[in-house]
Structure 1
């Protein structure tokens, strides 16, 4: 099958390029997954801090209706229960 130097060189080149593409795909997908997880964690931390500060501010007013409406509005945010 691989009798000439040209065919051996091309075969080695294709195998090397294929292996490089596979490794590159693995590294990119792995780093993207880490980036997505860290961004999700940062976003959810920011959202929970924002909701906490809003409810804390309404509680400092002392008005029960304002507190209830703030909690009701916060519960309408997607993903917040």
Structure 2
């Protein structure tokens, strides 16, 4: 995990709550990555599995990118 600590760019780490029962390693991996990367944010897509519905995914992506675009404009 040490190599992930060097990633300083914003990162959105996601997993789906519907995958937890069949693939618990996905949540554990998402948690580990989020804790290792200093600028990472973890979101759980409620009711979603590895095959994510775009209607569940789009709002999270829009929020994530909008926040970082606004931050970039404030700095620049």
Higher relative contact order (CA 8 A, sep 6+): 2
**Structure with greater proportional helix content:** 1
Q: TM-score, normalised by structure 2?
A: 0.32
Q: TM-score, normalised by structure 1?
A: 0.30
**Structure with greater proportional strand content:** 2
Q: Highest Rg: 1 or 2?
A: 1
